[in-house]
Structure 1
């Protein structure tokens, strides 16, 4: 009987495989047939993406100017529209009306090719009123839990499809090297392996087993490549990255997402070593499309073909910029406010300067994604199919993500968890606003409308009042983010005299992209002054940070009894924080980056040995200042319980260049309460021809242990884990000794 069942399962698997291949074959045939019927103008229209606000009636925000829409689709054959109607964040019913209007216009065209709509749904369906908003990506990374990330993407896909939108510009796979960068919070942090695993989970969550399902969306990896590594830390400024480094770190993240099935990729707005990525045939065609075998759509970022001549100065005019980028491998231009791309590309093709083969390649990719998304069958959601939109089930998932992301960095004298019977002072500029919990890309571009759209959600103040009663929470804002008022600080100090604890909420304004650029990595002077003034009261202070990047707190951190990093935890973040502060949830987040102590000490955790000069015992002389001294290191994250690690084992002391290595370690909860912990495995190559990293994260697993419970966690390392990219741009491993480290335990093995 078992043999019969096994045989049926095997045959079922084979049938599924054949069906999948046939489906792909059928789509390819449909694409080829449709392409053969298209005029040059229709093809170039498919490559053109326009913002919806350029199609609105003058003086009537959110309403189409129907002649403009007709012109876009009938005259210019526009294949894609993006962005949000004014004034922002429509309901699913309004989105239904918007997409219905667009679809109706597309159905009047000769070939009835549907319009592909795209949106920046980066932490939930964040441009739909009432949708579920999750922590931003940097917080999701801090969970070290790929299941949570995948679940969040599945819910985001469901609610985005409920909005009749099939394409999201997410995940962000940038690898930030400068913590001042304004989009660090959109990334998964400073580690390539962690980013790869999280990006892979997010792509699988968005696209599922069938991207054409009414509950899945096409993902868009961004921003290919090197965008997060600007030398200045400012947005859209140049990067200098050796190709060896680009391949060993940045490219591996995209490889993982491509393997997971990502349907599209957005190109970086920056330049690498003097070449704008939008103009790089090597990076887009030779590496991405040919070497990595990426079969999806390559879309520009906002105006980035135009910027090739207005900003980068590598083209004399728009026509030359269009030629440069399309020949480099761009498939779709986010123009997005006019038809200059269409007009110039049509002229270039008609004059033979851009071959039709390049146009056909681009349009084939676009049409294939439209077929895969089933847009030729339906473009408008049936709202009855989405009963879970904004449901308690989804809200609970957002809460769980926030609860697992929030990271306890310091807890002197076990000041946390707090006692509900104690009276506390809550103060600080981020304590009573939803926009500081959500950040940018929330309801609108900069996220300044979160207090309006998320008015039914709790700020930190409201969550604490709900937790312990209004009578036990004294509140004053204490200081503004940018300005301080001596009278307000004096008032705050006076109010603090009657409380047992102070909860000090500091952080950043809501921002993204260039408006988030800063010239000073220290937290603002007004907030620092408030923290220093309160620290003189000899009352325990719990510092709560809501920030998209690590703003330096070294001027006053030593005076804080506890430090809680919330990142940008989303709409349920305040509830999760309150439960953590009062011990109803045991914190389990870990830092996905090094939190620097000084503005000129920005070393990553996987630094080179020369970045620690002066740190060893031989050089502890006063004349040496420690080179490597982060405020908190990557992987830091405390708990209300304790965990003991023992019995770190490897299955063999020597491996060949074809062996895997099995690693196991025992973890025990030695405290009094249950808790979750992420077990991190680091690997060090002791000697290599390219200077090795001090350590590199290679595996992680999050486990939950009851008080007194033990669990053996097992990992398998493969040959790729032992390799690095050499100066010939080849992945190689070299004979020698390697060290495995889990918590304070180490084991060494030899590669023969």
Structure 2
């Protein structure tokens, strides 16, 4: 018995000794992150926080220019990944799209070094701006730009486009997408307005959530090889600088920042978005990249954001070089990291790493801040499945560029295009009609796609988009080449700045008009984005206006097809054209969609996601204050102070007609904890099937802070056959109609509210007010 007991005791001791020598393997993502973090040196941690552009590690003349055909310089790769221990790479090389095969080759080589030659075998995370399709991949499916997707007012279309983009981005071996843009496009002058979902808070929040679900999946399982990590841009208040020009100062009161600019980001964070890119500009004199209150107190603490905050291009350097809030580049790093930046888009050298390592050793940046940033980055890499599958293979993505994907892009383009004017039913065009097609956008794939299309400024579209149809080519296929005369009249100077024009031959276009039935004037803008898209005058170019006026004088019906990233002013001739079609930036299938709408194969259903201004000094959004319309008030005689717009927000015509009736509000009075339903019946009273966007607006009649004239609180896009009716119902809670009060808390106040759907109106009363406790701190 003693022998048996002794043997058992020995066994127990051996078991304990074995367990002591064999650590418990981490199971959860958090455990894996903490285990890895505990092994990392300061240099390895800082490397994870650094991101360089691809040109820096390729064979080439310098860090800005790569050789073609593209090849990695393995000595530079090892310098970046082994010596400096970098954790991320972004962008393409030479500002040029690559094939899926080339992406797989390049990223596989990077991951081989990262996962086989570095001490801790941490994979690289690769990021790219895939904003209306996989921007830098040849053969990818291009959808309309975000402003066009907003014009569809179709949640399902936006989600489907994001799903396809995620699939094709993963097919390119890239797991991280710098999209969507959730800035509000509230300034018509801004060169990135077309990257937004427009001017409205609710529309942007709703479509932003759809895009997150499309990119990441509804469960945010980004380990799924058909999903990517999304990146919300640009936190916060980026698109409303005082000058209307990119990366110039904005002055935004906290009340406005919270009521207009924050909700879409909050909704996307609540939807599970994994990363955020930071506003490149200044708010109230402080660069956002150095603003602890916005990046840490608001984003990470109040909103509870657990993901990665990445800089925009070179923006830590800008704290020193441009914004002058740091006396040295090293101080700029200190300001940004202590403010809450997790990863620096450097993008051209490794000095960031040297500075940050020194700052930690000097006690200027706490190790706790470094650990917080690296913990977020490692979590992202584990959640993407990069440790198990560092690179996906294009061979596993047979639907890349498929006909089914292209059909989805075509549908998105066709639902985005917005009919703004149709005098005397000039559209659709009569079958067999003779057309003059003219204008600088008539035969350009570049202008159809806009920026971020195969290259940053979109100037390389012609190299990759030859198989798609321009507006002219689509009209020739649809209407027959014999019926189409093309005289450009005005052309863009593609080798210069985007707005420069050449080949002005208006007389030739006027002469050609004598032999046709209709004139299709394709006007607008060439491709651009960011600083190169800044302009001094929102008016359409003088050459294009001259062309339009000359064509109007011919007496032939002129249909203006706008192809532009922002609403250029057309009031000097708009009243004299018979039709106006806004195509925004519809992508590779925009030409086909425009032709199908002009000929009536497709019934237009797009609605404006912004207010189209009439004059340079009437750049006001639809949700303005009553004082913007003082000329309507009794006794006021300044009749040029009114809200003068070319076309209102939410406007768009159809080839059929819709009648609204029976607007019902479920209760005439509600308490602060109740909900109401608003219903309306919509009937297609025309002779053809059509889609209609039913828009619900609510106006607070009186409030302690002057209320907006009205606010969008709901929308649904429905499809009705000729003669068909449908009842549409919205559910509204008091929180849905709240505003940010003087104490900076979301509030509803008792009183009367007006509901409007179409031309119908109704009222309800809120019997008591309420403050909602969803704000933890002041900015």
CA distance in 1, matches of 2:733, 2:390: 44
CA distance in 2, matches of 1:605, 1:446: 30
Aligned residue pairs total 728
Structure 1 position 379, deviation (Å) = 2.0
- Equivalent position SS for 2:645: coil
Instruction: Summarize deviations over 1:557-595 as a string: whole Å, max 9, x none.
Output: 011100000000000011011000011100000000000
392, 396, 409: which one aligns with 1:385 = 396
Q: Where does structure 2 lack aligned partners over 5 or more consecutive residues? A: 1-24, 62-66, 493-498, 768-779
Bigger Cα displacement from structure 2, 205-214 vs 38-47: 205-214
21, 26, 29: which one aligns with 1:27 = 29
Does structure 1 residue 82 correspond to structure 2 residue 90? yes
Bigger Cα displacement from structure 2, 79-88 vs 163-172: 79-88
Q: Could you tell me which residue of structure 1 aligns to residue 295 of structure 2?
A: 284
Q: Could you tell me which residue of structure 1 aligns to residue 551 of structure 2?
A: 534
413, 432, 448: which one aligns with 1:402 = 413
CA distance in 2, matches of 1:24, 1:228: 44
Does structure 1 residue 64 correspond to structure 2 residue 72? yes
- Equivalent position SS for 1:314: coil
Structure 1 position 136, deviation (Å) = 0.2
Q: Could you tell me which residue of structure 2 aligns to residue 189 of structure 1?
A: 198
Which one has the largest radius of gyration?
A: 2
Does structure 1 residue 213 correspond to structure 2 residue 228? no
Q: Could you tell me which residue of structure 2 aligns to residue 627 of structure 1?
A: 642
Contact 2:172 2:393 in 1 (8 A): no
Instruction: Summarize deviations over 1:513-568 as a string: whole Å, max 9, x none.
Output: 00000000000000000000001011111000000000000010011100000000
322, 329, 335: which one aligns with 1:311 = 322
Instruction: Summarize deviations over 1:58-111 as a string: whole Å, max 9, x none.
Output: 242421111000000001110000000236111000100011110011021011
Structure 1 position 475, deviation (Å) = 0.2
Structure 1 position 352, deviation (Å) = 1.2
Does structure 1 residue 116 correspond to structure 2 residue 125? yes
CA shift in 2, pair 1:136/1:25, >3 Å: farther
Structure 1 position 231, deviation (Å) = 0.5
CA shift in 2, pair 1:91/1:485, >3 Å: closer
Does structure 1 residue 749 correspond to structure 2 residue 764? yes
Q: Could you tell me which residue of structure 2 aligns to residue 169 of structure 1?
A: 178
724, 732, 736: which one aligns with 1:721 = 736
Contact 1:235 1:517 in 2 (8 A): yes
CA distance in 2, matches of 1:146, 1:157: 17
CA shift in 2, pair 1:483/1:335, >3 Å: closer
Runs of 4+ with >4 A deviation = 481-487, 616-619
CA distance in 2, matches of 1:587, 1:92: 35
Does structure 1 residue 95 correspond to structure 2 residue 103? yes
Bigger Cα displacement from structure 2, 585-594 vs 79-88: 79-88
Instruction: Summarize deviations over 1:695-744 as a string: whole Å, max 9, x none.
Output: 00010000000000000000001121221111111111111000000000
Q: Could you tell me which residue of structure 1 aligns to residue 3 of structure 2?
A: none
Could you state the TM-score of these two structures normalised by the residue count of structure 2? Answer: 0.92
749, 761, 764: which one aligns with 1:734 = 749
Q: Could you tell me which residue of structure 2 aligns to residue 438 of structure 1?
A: 449
Q: Where does structure 1 lack aligned partners over 5 or more consecutive residues? A: 1-22
Q: Could you tell me which residue of structure 2 aligns to residue 695 of structure 1?
A: 710
Q: 1:445-460 to 2 correspondence within 5 Å? A: 445-460=456-471
Contact 1:424 1:472 in 2 (8 A): yes
Q: 1:110-509 to 2 correspondence within 5 Å? A: 110-208=119-217, 209=219, 210-481=221-492, 488-509=505-526
Does structure 1 residue 546 correspond to structure 2 residue 588? no
- Equivalent position SS for 1:425: strand
CA distance in 1, matches of 2:503, 2:381: 59
Contact 1:615 1:626 in 2 (8 A): no
521, 530, 533: which one aligns with 1:516 = 533
- Equivalent position SS for 2:376: helix
Q: Could you tell me which residue of structure 1 aligns to residue 601 of structure 2?
A: 584
- Equivalent position SS for 1:663: strand
RMSD: 1.3
Contact 2:104 2:392 in 1 (8 A): yes
Structure 1 position 397, deviation (Å) = 0.2
